[in-house]
Structure 1
């Protein structure tokens, strides 16, 4: 639902167009990133979503500011507070590590909306928490790994053993076991979200141990994909966004997030007088999370495998298949 005109009696939805009359004042949104807008992962997925909203609304109605590489919570807190004091409508701190910072800043700016994710607790009445159900797409990718591995060994390159990475890894393992109970999944963590070198080294270790399917999450995966792309017969499964452009002959499929819908929902809630206090899920059911196939490698995946996974996708979306987290 990316466009609409608000009428006196009813809402008229027009695909693809935001009517400028629906926005009396320019919407100013600030994005705080621990990485960069072109990290081909978590950060870029949100940035691309915001740019899509900006394109739909028009530059005259939507202003976007971005602060990158704010790993340090103190620096992030200063930037968040500065944007709020400058009158930004919505300040998005794109990382679970920013929750405590927002809890401190938000009460000082009750008219500003804040948001963070992966988040489970909205906290203050002017904080939104968005929560990708990473385990859902991960389950489908796990099924794909289990059904396509030739060695029976699958490697996971993890960042830190917490948050969204755990949800992804648990869902992935469940998918592997559901499709191939005999397959072995080996998981290792770099201890960082952005250590490309360490991610590459873990990928090498997995491959030396016989893994022919690899996956992983966070910005560091670029390093692991680079390693996988140099090894014939080794494939990668992505999350956060479609990473097939990095290695068209290596990335089989991806779990991709559509943050534009999340941003639009937050702006609509704010427009109706709700400044926060809501938990917003990204899921297969809402269409804010999807499975993306790499058309360049369609011949590498048997049709019956694709059919089986697409059937599982429909079951998860409808609620008949639950990917529960322990």
Structure 2
């Protein structure tokens, strides 16, 4: 093979790679987001919205259009919105919730040239569905360690939404992390039966506190209701997930597990541009920077260097795989 021919081959290959990149495409990509709550819920929905907007900021609004449908708890309404976006030619439709899986399994085969996505998810029954899967248990384990080391009463309360999916992963990781550093801790879990019932979440938080809990946590959009309750008490702490919720209560939120959806969205767009419309299980973990742990600097004195050192050591073991969380 001549040197000139070799150079031509390499150049052609590189050109193909650029052609497949979603970020080099001349066509304007249209992305739709269907969410159960709102883009400012300070939790699950906002985390994905900010991830999408970060990709749009990187590409430019002239290259990427974003549409959002909010408050679609009802499956019938959500299904109608998803179909409408498909009919309007949106290339990627993200139904942000495990509750939307059955809808996508029904709708996606009808629109084989459109990419759909949902999470927390594992199965991709159709070749044009992406399932994204935050490893909620990883950050939960670290938050559980903080709770186990901070509690004075040895009673910790979890305000759960629904006993399924992401909530179960979070709760299992949290309990194991707490007991790893404090075998005497009693972690009590109660569920509202809803992802968005702020009032019920607040009531469960009060019940935990009355029972002696001095550290609380919980997942989903409803957690804002519980966090607001913690503002009323001294030396009571909350540990967050989904987003950094410190701004809700700077005096009680100690630390947070944050979902970083930007790279997940970019991966879906790049895969689509390369001809893969779905069929992938996309994970978010500490190892791939899909997850991050942030501390409340205002409460730095409450989490000393000794606690941080133990937590960071465990985080390193999660990344290298030497620490395994039991999900059975």
Q: With the length of structure 1 as denominator, give the TM-score of the two structures.
A: 0.94
Is 1:191 matched up with 2:193?
Answer: yes
Residue deviations 1:290-315, cap 9 Å, x none?
11111111111121110000010011
CA apart distance, 1:23? 1.6
- Between the aligned partners of 2:14 and 2:25, the Cα distance in structure 1 is 16
CA apart distance, 1:100? 0.5
The corresponding residue for 2:147 is 145
Whether the aligned pair in 2 keeps the contact of 1:315 and 1:321 (CA below 8 Å) is yes
Residue deviations 1:143-187, cap 9 Å, x none?
000011111110000001011000000000000110100011010
Is 1:278 matched up with 2:280?
Answer: yes
Whether the aligned pair in 2 keeps the contact of 1:29 and 1:63 (CA below 8 Å) is yes
Whether the aligned pair in 2 keeps the contact of 1:20 and 1:57 (CA below 8 Å) is no
Q: Which runs of 4+ in 1 moved over 6 A?
A: none
Name which of 225, 230, 238 aligns with 2:240. Answer: 238
Whether the aligned pair in 1 keeps the contact of 2:130 and 2:280 (CA below 8 Å) is yes
Is 1:63 matched up with 2:39?
Answer: no
Is 1:115 matched up with 2:147?
Answer: no
Is 1:267 matched up with 2:269?
Answer: yes
Aligned residue pair count? 314
The corresponding residue for 1:310 is 312
The corresponding residue for 1:75 is 77
The alignment partner of 1:131 has SS state of strand
CA apart distance, 1:9? 4.8
The alignment partner of 2:72 has SS state of coil
CA apart distance, 1:8? 4.8
Larger-Rg structure: 2
Q: Please report the RMSD computed on the Cα atoms of aligned residues, expressed in angstroms.
A: 1.4
Whether the aligned pair in 2 keeps the contact of 1:242 and 1:292 (CA below 8 Å) is yes
The alignment partner of 1:185 has SS state of strand
The corresponding residue for 1:96 is 98
Whether the aligned pair in 2 keeps the contact of 1:54 and 1:62 (CA below 8 Å) is yes
Matches within 5 A, 1:113-192: 113-192=115-194
The corresponding residue for 1:320 is 322
Residue deviations 1:32-81, cap 9 Å, x none?
00110011000000001011001000000010000000111111111101
Whether the aligned pair in 2 keeps the contact of 1:130 and 1:282 (CA below 8 Å) is yes
Name which of 13, 28, 37 aligns with 2:30. Answer: 28
Residue deviations 1:200-244, cap 9 Å, x none?
011001111111100000110111000011110100000001000
When residues 21 and 53 of structure 1 are mapped into structure 2, their CA distance, relative to the original with a 3 A threshold, is closer
The alignment partner of 1:193 has SS state of coil
Q: With the length of structure 2 as denominator, give the TM-score of the two structures.
A: 0.94
CA apart distance, 1:266? 0.4
Whether the aligned pair in 1 keeps the contact of 2:22 and 2:269 (CA below 8 Å) is no
- Between the aligned partners of 1:296 and 1:233, the Cα distance in structure 2 is 14
- Between the aligned partners of 2:188 and 2:14, the Cα distance in structure 1 is 54
Whether the aligned pair in 2 keeps the contact of 1:20 and 1:61 (CA below 8 Å) is no
Unaligned runs of 5+ in 1: 1-6, 12-18
- Between the aligned partners of 2:86 and 2:288, the Cα distance in structure 1 is 30
Whether the aligned pair in 2 keeps the contact of 1:229 and 1:235 (CA below 8 Å) is no
